[in-house]
Structure 1
Amino acid sequence: MSSPVFTHVRAVLFDLDGTLIDSAPDLGAAADKLRTDRGLPSLPADRYRPMAGAGARGMLSVAFDMDTAHPDFPALREEFFVNYEACIQQRTKVFDGVESMIAELTRRGMPWGIVTNKAARFTDVLVAATPLFSSAGAVISGDTTAHSKPHPEPLLEAARRLDIEPAHCIYVGDDERDIVAGLAAGMRTVAALYGYLGTQTAVHEWGAQAAIKSPLEVLQLISAP
Protein backbone atom coordinates (compact mmCIF):
# COMPACT_ATOMS: atom_id res chain seq x y z
CA MET A 1 0.00 0.00 0.00
CA SER A 2 1.57 3.26 -1.09
CA SER A 3 1.56 6.48 0.90
CA PRO A 4 1.39 9.26 -1.69
CA VAL A 5 1.39 12.99 -1.11
CA PHE A 6 -2.12 14.07 -2.03
CA THR A 7 -2.53 17.32 -3.95
CA HIS A 8 -5.47 19.74 -4.06
CA VAL A 9 -6.65 18.68 -0.60
CA ARG A 10 -9.06 21.19 0.89
CA ALA A 11 -10.45 19.23 3.86
CA VAL A 12 -9.71 16.19 6.01
CA LEU A 13 -12.46 14.02 7.47
CA PHE A 14 -11.98 11.45 10.21
CA ASP A 15 -13.78 8.50 11.68
CA LEU A 16 -14.13 8.90 15.47
CA ASP A 17 -13.63 5.65 17.42
CA GLY A 18 -10.26 4.10 16.68
CA THR A 19 -9.14 7.07 14.59
CA LEU A 20 -9.42 10.20 16.75
CA ILE A 21 -10.38 8.73 20.11
CA ASP A 22 -9.51 5.57 22.01
CA SER A 23 -12.95 4.62 23.34
CA ALA A 24 -12.28 0.88 23.60
CA PRO A 25 -11.93 0.88 27.42
CA ASP A 26 -15.39 2.40 27.96
CA LEU A 27 -17.04 0.33 25.24
CA GLY A 28 -15.53 -2.83 26.67
CA ALA A 29 -16.57 -1.91 30.21
CA ALA A 30 -20.15 -1.36 29.08
CA ALA A 31 -20.24 -4.76 27.42
CA ASP A 32 -18.52 -6.53 30.27
CA LYS A 33 -21.11 -5.18 32.70
CA LEU A 34 -23.71 -7.13 30.74
CA ARG A 35 -21.79 -10.29 31.61
CA THR A 36 -21.14 -9.56 35.27
CA ASP A 37 -24.74 -8.45 35.81
CA ARG A 38 -25.70 -11.95 34.71
CA GLY A 39 -23.22 -13.70 36.97
CA LEU A 40 -20.76 -14.43 34.17
CA PRO A 41 -17.04 -13.90 34.68
CA SER A 42 -15.46 -10.69 33.47
CA LEU A 43 -13.41 -10.83 30.28
CA PRO A 44 -10.03 -9.07 29.87
CA ALA A 45 -10.16 -5.66 28.21
CA ASP A 46 -7.90 -6.84 25.40
CA ARG A 47 -10.63 -9.25 24.28
CA TYR A 48 -12.94 -6.35 23.53
CA ARG A 49 -10.43 -3.91 22.07
CA PRO A 50 -10.06 -5.34 18.53
CA MET A 51 -13.83 -5.21 18.00
CA ALA A 52 -14.42 -1.75 19.47
CA GLY A 53 -14.78 -0.22 16.01
CA ALA A 54 -17.85 -2.36 15.37
CA GLY A 55 -19.82 -0.77 18.21
CA ALA A 56 -22.60 -2.76 19.89
CA ARG A 57 -22.38 -5.47 17.26
CA GLY A 58 -18.71 -6.03 17.99
CA MET A 59 -19.04 -5.76 21.76
CA LEU A 60 -21.90 -8.27 21.97
CA SER A 61 -20.04 -10.66 19.71
CA VAL A 62 -17.21 -10.71 22.23
CA ALA A 63 -19.34 -10.69 25.39
CA PHE A 64 -21.81 -13.38 24.31
CA ASP A 65 -20.57 -14.77 20.97
CA MET A 66 -23.80 -13.28 19.61
CA ASP A 67 -24.57 -11.92 16.15
CA THR A 68 -27.29 -9.52 15.07
CA ALA A 69 -29.63 -12.35 14.09
CA HIS A 70 -29.90 -13.61 17.67
CA PRO A 71 -33.37 -12.94 19.14
CA ASP A 72 -31.87 -11.37 22.28
CA PHE A 73 -29.65 -8.98 20.34
CA PRO A 74 -31.99 -5.92 20.24
CA ALA A 75 -32.66 -5.97 24.01
CA LEU A 76 -29.00 -6.53 24.90
CA ARG A 77 -27.93 -3.81 22.48
CA GLU A 78 -30.16 -1.27 24.22
CA GLU A 79 -28.91 -2.38 27.63
CA PHE A 80 -25.37 -2.00 26.32
CA PHE A 81 -26.22 1.54 25.16
CA VAL A 82 -27.51 2.43 28.64
CA ASN A 83 -24.34 1.05 30.22
CA TYR A 84 -22.20 2.95 27.74
CA GLU A 85 -23.97 6.26 28.37
CA ALA A 86 -23.17 5.83 32.07
CA CYS A 87 -19.41 5.47 31.49
CA ILE A 88 -18.86 7.16 28.12
CA GLN A 89 -16.26 9.66 29.39
CA GLN A 90 -14.56 7.67 32.14
CA ARG A 91 -11.59 6.21 30.23
CA THR A 92 -11.91 7.56 26.67
CA LYS A 93 -9.17 9.87 25.42
CA VAL A 94 -7.80 11.15 22.14
CA PHE A 95 -4.96 9.16 20.63
CA ASP A 96 -1.44 10.51 21.04
CA GLY A 97 -0.71 12.96 18.26
CA VAL A 98 -4.32 13.92 17.52
CA GLU A 99 -4.11 17.24 19.35
CA SER A 100 -0.94 18.28 17.50
CA MET A 101 -2.38 17.10 14.18
CA ILE A 102 -5.57 19.12 14.55
CA ALA A 103 -3.58 22.15 15.72
CA GLU A 104 -1.48 21.98 12.56
CA LEU A 105 -4.52 21.53 10.30
CA THR A 106 -6.02 24.61 11.95
CA ARG A 107 -2.78 26.54 11.49
CA ARG A 108 -2.84 25.67 7.80
CA GLY A 109 -6.45 26.82 7.53
CA MET A 110 -7.49 23.30 6.54
CA PRO A 111 -11.13 22.52 7.42
CA TRP A 112 -11.72 19.17 9.08
CA GLY A 113 -14.64 17.12 10.29
CA ILE A 114 -15.85 13.92 11.91
CA VAL A 115 -17.92 11.20 10.22
CA THR A 116 -18.82 8.31 12.50
CA ASN A 117 -21.37 5.52 12.65
CA LYS A 118 -21.82 6.27 16.35
CA ALA A 119 -25.35 7.50 17.11
CA ALA A 120 -25.67 11.22 17.81
CA ARG A 121 -26.73 10.50 21.40
CA PHE A 122 -23.15 9.38 22.00
CA THR A 123 -21.24 11.47 19.47
CA ASP A 124 -22.65 14.75 20.74
CA VAL A 125 -21.62 13.97 24.33
CA LEU A 126 -18.07 13.08 23.36
CA VAL A 127 -17.60 16.05 21.03
CA ALA A 128 -18.99 18.48 23.62
CA ALA A 129 -16.69 17.02 26.29
CA THR A 130 -13.59 17.36 24.09
CA PRO A 131 -12.66 21.04 23.60
CA LEU A 132 -10.21 19.98 20.91
CA PHE A 133 -13.15 19.03 18.67
CA SER A 134 -14.78 22.47 18.80
CA SER A 135 -12.95 23.42 15.61
CA ALA A 136 -14.61 20.63 13.59
CA GLY A 137 -16.48 22.13 10.67
CA ALA A 138 -18.83 19.14 10.37
CA VAL A 139 -19.84 16.35 12.72
CA ILE A 140 -21.85 13.57 11.10
CA SER A 141 -23.19 10.70 13.21
CA GLY A 142 -24.55 7.34 12.16
CA ASP A 143 -28.11 8.66 12.31
CA THR A 144 -27.52 12.13 10.84
CA THR A 145 -28.45 10.92 7.36
CA ALA A 146 -30.68 8.11 6.14
CA HIS A 147 -27.64 5.87 5.71
CA SER A 148 -24.52 4.97 7.66
CA LYS A 149 -21.13 3.82 6.43
CA PRO A 150 -20.24 1.96 4.24
CA HIS A 151 -22.81 4.04 2.33
CA PRO A 152 -21.16 7.24 1.06
CA GLU A 153 -24.00 9.57 2.09
CA PRO A 154 -22.59 10.55 5.52
CA LEU A 155 -19.31 11.56 3.88
CA LEU A 156 -21.09 13.45 1.13
CA GLU A 157 -23.14 15.30 3.76
CA ALA A 158 -19.93 16.29 5.57
CA ALA A 159 -18.51 17.64 2.31
CA ARG A 160 -21.70 19.61 1.71
CA ARG A 161 -21.54 21.15 5.17
CA LEU A 162 -17.92 22.15 4.58
CA ASP A 163 -18.87 23.38 1.09
CA ILE A 164 -16.00 21.41 -0.42
CA GLU A 165 -16.13 18.97 -3.31
CA PRO A 166 -15.65 15.35 -2.22
CA ALA A 167 -12.75 14.95 -4.65
CA HIS A 168 -10.83 17.51 -2.59
CA CYS A 169 -11.39 15.64 0.70
CA ILE A 170 -9.38 12.95 2.47
CA TYR A 171 -11.17 10.45 4.69
CA VAL A 172 -9.22 8.67 7.44
CA GLY A 173 -10.61 5.58 9.17
CA ASP A 174 -9.65 2.32 10.84
CA ASP A 175 -12.36 0.05 9.43
CA GLU A 176 -12.95 -1.38 5.96
CA ARG A 177 -16.36 0.27 5.80
CA ASP A 178 -14.62 3.66 6.21
CA ILE A 179 -12.54 3.02 3.12
CA VAL A 180 -15.48 1.62 1.16
CA ALA A 181 -17.54 4.71 2.01
CA GLY A 182 -14.70 7.09 1.19
CA LEU A 183 -14.03 5.52 -2.17
CA ALA A 184 -17.73 5.51 -3.03
CA ALA A 185 -17.89 9.21 -2.14
CA GLY A 186 -15.01 9.94 -4.49
CA MET A 187 -12.60 10.92 -1.72
CA ARG A 188 -8.98 9.99 -1.15
CA THR A 189 -8.84 7.35 1.59
CA VAL A 190 -6.37 6.63 4.37
CA ALA A 191 -6.33 3.55 6.62
CA ALA A 192 -5.46 4.24 10.27
CA LEU A 193 -3.34 1.24 11.22
CA TYR A 194 -3.20 2.24 14.90
CA GLY A 195 -6.97 1.83 15.33
CA TYR A 196 -9.32 -1.08 15.95
CA LEU A 197 -8.56 -3.33 13.02
CA GLY A 198 -10.59 -6.32 14.15
CA THR A 199 -9.43 -9.89 14.54
CA GLN A 200 -9.23 -10.94 10.88
CA THR A 201 -8.03 -7.87 9.05
CA ALA A 202 -6.33 -7.67 5.66
CA VAL A 203 -5.92 -3.91 5.40
CA HIS A 204 -4.09 -4.17 2.09
CA GLU A 205 -7.29 -5.52 0.56
CA TRP A 206 -9.41 -2.51 1.53
CA GLY A 207 -8.31 -0.37 -1.41
CA ALA A 208 -7.14 2.64 0.59
CA GLN A 209 -4.69 4.88 -1.23
CA ALA A 210 -2.52 5.35 1.87
CA ALA A 211 -2.00 4.07 5.39
CA ILE A 212 -0.70 5.72 8.56
CA LYS A 213 0.74 4.34 11.79
CA SER A 214 0.05 7.48 13.85
CA PRO A 215 -2.29 10.47 13.53
CA LEU A 216 0.53 12.91 12.82
CA GLU A 217 1.38 11.03 9.62
CA VAL A 218 -1.77 12.53 8.09
CA LEU A 219 0.15 15.80 7.73
CA GLN A 220 2.82 14.08 5.63
CA LEU A 221 0.17 13.03 3.10
CA ILE A 222 -0.96 16.57 2.36
CA SER A 223 1.10 18.72 0.05
CA ALA A 224 2.25 21.96 1.63
CA PRO A 225 -0.06 24.91 0.95
Structure 2
Amino acid sequence: MSPCSPRAVLFDLDGTLIDSAPDLAGAANELRAAHGLSALPYEHFRPMVGSGARGMVGVAFDVGPQHERFAELRDDFLRRYEQRMMLETRIFDAVVPVLDTLDARHHPWGIVTNKAARFTVPLVRSLGLHERAATVIAGDTTPHSKPHPAPLLEAARQMGLEPSECLYVGDDPRDVQAGLAAGMTTVVAAWGYLGIGEPLEAWGARHIIKTPAELLNLLGMA
Protein backbone atom coordinates (compact mmCIF):
# COMPACT_ATOMS: atom_id res chain seq x y z
CA MET A 1 0.00 0.00 0.00
CA SER A 2 1.74 3.15 -1.20
CA PRO A 3 1.36 6.24 1.01
CA CYS A 4 -0.70 9.19 -0.19
CA SER A 5 -0.65 12.78 1.05
CA PRO A 6 -4.11 14.34 1.24
CA ARG A 7 -4.40 17.61 3.10
CA ALA A 8 -7.56 16.40 4.87
CA VAL A 9 -9.37 13.16 5.64
CA LEU A 10 -13.14 12.93 5.51
CA PHE A 11 -15.05 10.08 7.12
CA ASP A 12 -18.50 8.64 6.76
CA LEU A 13 -20.11 8.36 10.20
CA ASP A 14 -22.09 5.14 10.77
CA GLY A 15 -19.95 2.06 10.23
CA THR A 16 -16.79 4.04 9.58
CA LEU A 17 -16.21 6.25 12.62
CA ILE A 18 -18.91 4.97 14.94
CA ASP A 19 -20.68 1.70 15.67
CA SER A 20 -24.32 2.75 15.74
CA ALA A 21 -25.77 -0.60 14.66
CA PRO A 22 -26.75 -1.72 18.19
CA ASP A 23 -29.02 1.29 18.70
CA LEU A 24 -30.47 1.11 15.18
CA ALA A 25 -31.18 -2.60 15.57
CA GLY A 26 -32.57 -1.94 19.04
CA ALA A 27 -35.01 0.65 17.71
CA ALA A 28 -36.11 -1.75 14.96
CA ASN A 29 -36.73 -4.52 17.45
CA GLU A 30 -38.61 -2.14 19.72
CA LEU A 31 -40.86 -1.36 16.78
CA ARG A 32 -41.35 -5.07 16.09
CA ALA A 33 -42.30 -5.58 19.74
CA ALA A 34 -44.87 -2.79 19.47
CA HIS A 35 -46.45 -4.77 16.63
CA GLY A 36 -46.45 -8.01 18.60
CA LEU A 37 -43.43 -9.50 16.84
CA SER A 38 -40.41 -11.17 18.42
CA ALA A 39 -36.93 -9.67 18.18
CA LEU A 40 -34.70 -10.49 15.22
CA PRO A 41 -31.01 -11.31 15.71
CA TYR A 42 -28.66 -8.33 15.61
CA GLU A 43 -26.76 -9.94 12.74
CA HIS A 44 -29.80 -9.52 10.49
CA PHE A 45 -29.70 -5.75 10.89
CA ARG A 46 -25.98 -4.92 10.91
CA PRO A 47 -25.23 -5.22 7.17
CA MET A 48 -28.16 -2.95 6.31
CA VAL A 49 -27.33 -0.02 8.60
CA GLY A 50 -25.86 1.90 5.66
CA SER A 51 -29.36 2.00 4.15
CA GLY A 52 -30.70 3.89 7.17
CA ALA A 53 -34.37 3.73 8.11
CA ARG A 54 -35.20 2.11 4.77
CA GLY A 55 -32.84 -0.76 5.53
CA MET A 56 -33.93 -1.19 9.14
CA VAL A 57 -37.65 -1.18 8.34
CA GLY A 58 -36.99 -3.45 5.39
CA VAL A 59 -35.32 -6.04 7.60
CA ALA A 60 -37.81 -5.68 10.45
CA PHE A 61 -41.00 -5.86 8.39
CA ASP A 62 -39.95 -7.00 4.91
CA VAL A 63 -41.46 -3.91 3.28
CA GLY A 64 -39.97 -1.36 0.89
CA PRO A 65 -40.63 2.34 0.27
CA GLN A 66 -43.50 1.56 -2.13
CA HIS A 67 -45.43 -0.37 0.51
CA GLU A 68 -48.49 1.38 1.96
CA ARG A 69 -47.25 0.84 5.53
CA PHE A 70 -43.68 1.96 4.92
CA ALA A 71 -43.97 5.69 5.71
CA GLU A 72 -45.77 5.05 9.00
CA LEU A 73 -43.28 2.37 10.05
CA ARG A 74 -40.31 4.54 9.03
CA ASP A 75 -41.52 7.54 11.00
CA ASP A 76 -42.20 5.42 14.09
CA PHE A 77 -38.77 3.79 13.75
CA LEU A 78 -37.06 7.19 13.55
CA ARG A 79 -38.91 8.42 16.65
CA ARG A 80 -37.79 5.37 18.57
CA TYR A 81 -34.22 5.65 17.30
CA GLU A 82 -34.02 9.32 18.27
CA GLN A 83 -34.97 8.40 21.84
CA ARG A 84 -32.22 5.78 22.18
CA MET A 85 -29.57 6.67 19.62
CA MET A 86 -26.88 7.39 22.23
CA LEU A 87 -27.60 4.38 24.43
CA GLU A 88 -25.07 1.94 22.97
CA THR A 89 -23.42 3.84 20.11
CA ARG A 90 -19.66 4.28 20.44
CA ILE A 91 -16.67 5.32 18.38
CA PHE A 92 -15.05 2.14 17.07
CA ASP A 93 -12.26 1.29 19.51
CA ALA A 94 -9.71 0.94 16.72
CA VAL A 95 -10.70 4.34 15.26
CA VAL A 96 -9.85 6.23 18.47
CA PRO A 97 -6.03 6.11 18.03
CA VAL A 98 -6.41 7.10 14.38
CA LEU A 99 -8.27 10.29 15.30
CA ASP A 100 -5.81 10.93 18.12
CA THR A 101 -2.90 10.67 15.67
CA LEU A 102 -4.56 12.98 13.15
CA ASP A 103 -5.18 15.53 15.91
CA ALA A 104 -1.62 15.22 17.21
CA ARG A 105 -0.29 15.84 13.70
CA HIS A 106 -2.66 18.80 13.24
CA HIS A 107 -4.07 16.99 10.21
CA PRO A 108 -7.66 18.17 9.66
CA TRP A 109 -10.47 15.67 9.34
CA GLY A 110 -14.20 15.91 8.98
CA ILE A 111 -17.44 13.96 8.79
CA VAL A 112 -19.77 13.56 5.80
CA THR A 113 -22.84 11.41 6.47
CA ASN A 114 -26.27 10.80 4.98
CA LYS A 115 -27.71 10.83 8.50
CA ALA A 116 -30.06 13.80 8.93
CA ALA A 117 -28.82 16.71 11.05
CA ARG A 118 -31.52 16.02 13.66
CA PHE A 119 -29.59 12.85 14.51
CA THR A 120 -26.07 13.77 13.42
CA VAL A 121 -25.62 16.91 15.49
CA PRO A 122 -26.56 15.51 18.93
CA LEU A 123 -24.78 12.23 18.21
CA VAL A 124 -21.52 13.86 17.15
CA ARG A 125 -21.73 16.19 20.13
CA SER A 126 -22.42 13.39 22.60
CA LEU A 127 -19.34 11.50 21.37
CA GLY A 128 -17.12 14.56 21.72
CA LEU A 129 -16.37 14.74 18.01
CA HIS A 130 -17.89 18.15 17.31
CA GLU A 131 -14.93 20.02 18.82
CA ARG A 132 -12.43 17.92 16.88
CA ALA A 133 -13.93 17.68 13.41
CA ALA A 134 -13.08 20.49 11.01
CA THR A 135 -16.47 20.08 9.33
CA VAL A 136 -19.62 18.01 9.85
CA ILE A 137 -21.90 17.58 6.85
CA ALA A 138 -25.24 15.85 7.44
CA GLY A 139 -27.55 14.24 4.92
CA ASP A 140 -29.68 17.38 4.67
CA THR A 141 -26.89 19.98 4.81
CA THR A 142 -26.98 20.23 1.01
CA PRO A 143 -29.92 19.66 -1.37
CA HIS A 144 -28.50 16.26 -2.30
CA SER A 145 -27.16 13.35 -0.26
CA LYS A 146 -24.62 10.71 -1.26
CA PRO A 147 -24.06 9.24 -3.84
CA HIS A 148 -24.32 12.81 -5.14
CA PRO A 149 -20.98 14.61 -4.67
CA ALA A 150 -22.57 17.77 -3.22
CA PRO A 151 -22.00 16.90 0.47
CA LEU A 152 -18.32 16.12 -0.13
CA LEU A 153 -17.84 19.23 -2.21
CA GLU A 154 -19.39 21.30 0.58
CA ALA A 155 -17.05 19.70 3.12
CA ALA A 156 -14.04 20.61 1.00
CA ARG A 157 -15.37 24.15 0.55
CA GLN A 158 -15.83 24.59 4.30
CA MET A 159 -12.27 23.39 4.88
CA GLY A 160 -10.89 25.73 2.23
CA LEU A 161 -9.52 22.86 0.16
CA GLU A 162 -9.85 21.53 -3.35
CA PRO A 163 -11.73 18.23 -3.49
CA SER A 164 -8.64 16.60 -4.97
CA GLU A 165 -6.78 17.43 -1.75
CA CYS A 166 -9.19 15.30 0.30
CA LEU A 167 -9.44 11.59 1.01
CA TYR A 168 -12.84 10.07 1.81
CA VAL A 169 -13.27 6.91 3.88
CA GLY A 170 -16.61 5.07 3.89
CA ASP A 171 -18.25 1.67 4.18
CA ASP A 172 -20.98 1.87 1.53
CA PRO A 173 -20.92 1.90 -2.30
CA ARG A 174 -22.56 5.32 -2.20
CA ASP A 175 -19.55 6.68 -0.32
CA VAL A 176 -17.24 5.57 -3.11
CA GLN A 177 -19.58 6.85 -5.81
CA ALA A 178 -19.81 10.26 -4.13
CA GLY A 179 -16.07 10.43 -3.55
CA LEU A 180 -15.24 9.56 -7.15
CA ALA A 181 -17.78 12.06 -8.46
CA ALA A 182 -16.24 14.74 -6.22
CA GLY A 183 -12.73 13.96 -7.45
CA MET A 184 -11.48 12.70 -4.09
CA THR A 185 -9.29 9.72 -3.26
CA THR A 186 -11.66 7.01 -2.03
CA VAL A 187 -11.03 4.39 0.64
CA VAL A 188 -13.32 1.53 1.70
CA ALA A 189 -13.52 0.83 5.44
CA ALA A 190 -13.85 -2.95 5.39
CA TRP A 191 -14.65 -3.07 9.14
CA GLY A 192 -17.94 -1.31 8.43
CA TYR A 193 -21.47 -2.45 7.64
CA LEU A 194 -20.86 -2.85 3.86
CA GLY A 195 -24.39 -3.86 2.88
CA ILE A 196 -25.30 -6.86 0.76
CA GLY A 197 -24.29 -6.75 -2.87
CA GLU A 198 -21.19 -6.47 -5.01
CA PRO A 199 -17.81 -7.41 -3.54
CA LEU A 200 -15.77 -4.49 -2.19
CA GLU A 201 -13.29 -4.79 -5.06
CA ALA A 202 -16.08 -3.91 -7.51
CA TRP A 203 -16.90 -0.59 -5.84
CA GLY A 204 -14.10 1.24 -7.65
CA ALA A 205 -12.30 2.72 -4.63
CA ARG A 206 -8.60 3.54 -4.77
CA HIS A 207 -7.91 1.61 -1.57
CA ILE A 208 -9.58 -1.01 0.64
CA ILE A 209 -8.39 -1.14 4.26
CA LYS A 210 -9.32 -3.89 6.70
CA THR A 211 -8.50 -1.96 9.89
CA PRO A 212 -8.45 1.71 10.89
CA ALA A 213 -4.71 1.43 11.61
CA GLU A 214 -4.12 0.82 7.92
CA LEU A 215 -5.32 4.35 7.26
CA LEU A 216 -2.30 5.68 9.19
CA ASN A 217 -0.06 3.47 7.04
CA LEU A 218 -1.73 4.86 3.94
CA LEU A 219 -1.17 8.42 5.16
CA GLY A 220 2.47 7.68 6.07
CA MET A 221 1.76 8.37 9.76
CA ALA A 222 2.30 4.90 11.21
Q: TM-score, normalised by structure 2?
A: 0.96
CA distance in 1, matches of 2:2, 2:172: 20
2:123 counterpart residue number: 126
> Could you tell me how far 1:40 is from its partner in structure 2?
1.0
CA RMSD of aligned residues (A): 1.1
SS at match of 1:134: coil
* 1:84 aligned residue: 81
* Paired letter, 1:4: S
What is the CA-CA distance between 1:211 and the residue it aligns to? Answer: 1.0
Q: Give the Å deviation of 1:223.
A: 3.6
CA distance in 2, matches of 1:168, 1:143: 24
Relative to 1, partners in 2 of residues 1:90 and 1:40: Cα closer, same or farther, differing over 3 Å?
Answer: same
Instruction: Give 2:149's aligned residue.
Output: 152
- Deviation string, structure 1 residues 178-225 (Cα, Å, up to 9, x no partner): 00000000000000000001133411110000011111211111145x
Local SS of the residue matching 1:97: helix
Offset of residue 76 of structure 1: 1.1
CA deviation after TM superposition for structure 1 residue 6, in Å: 1.3
Instruction: Answer yes or no: is 1:6 the counterpart of 2:8.
Output: no
1:65 corresponding residue in structure 2: 62
Matched position secondary structure for 1:12: strand
Task: Tell me if structure 2 keeps the 8 A contact 1:113–1:136.
Answer: yes
Does 57-66 or 175-184 show the bigger shift? Answer: 57-66
The gaps in structure 2 that reach 5 residues or longer are none
Distance 1:91 1:130 in 2: 11
3-state SS of the aligned residue for 1:105?
helix
Deviations 1:57-114 (A, max 9, x none): 1101100111111121111111111000111011111112211111111111111000
Equivalenced residues, count:
221
Among all aligned residue pairs of Structure 1 and Structure 2, give the percentage whose two residues are the same amino acid: 55
| Residue aligned with 1:131, SS | coil
Equivalent residue runs for 1:11-30 within 5 Å: 11-30=8-27
Matches within 5 A, 1:66-215: 66-215=63-212
In 2, the alpha carbon distance for the partners of 1:200 and 1:177 equals: 12
TM-score w.r.t. structure 1 length? 0.95
SS at structure 1 position matched to 2:23: helix
Between 1:195-204 and 1:118-127, the stretch displaced more is 195-204
How many Å apart are 1:43 and its aligned residue? 0.6
Instruction: Give 1:133 deviation, angstroms.
Output: 4.2
**Matches of 2:99 and 2:130, distance apart in 1:** 9
Q: What stretches of structure 1 move > 6 A for 4+ residues in a row?
A: none
Distance 2:179 2:31 in 1: 34
Q: Distance in 1 between matches of 2:4 and 2:206?
A: 10
CA distance in 2, matches of 1:96, 1:131: 14
Question: In the TM superposition, what is the alpha-carbon distance from 1:49 to its structure 2 partner?
Answer: 0.8
Is 1:33–2:30 an aligned residue pair? yes
| Equivalent position SS for 2:136 | strand
Take 2:2 and 2:91, find their aligned partners in 1: how far apart are those partners?
A: 26
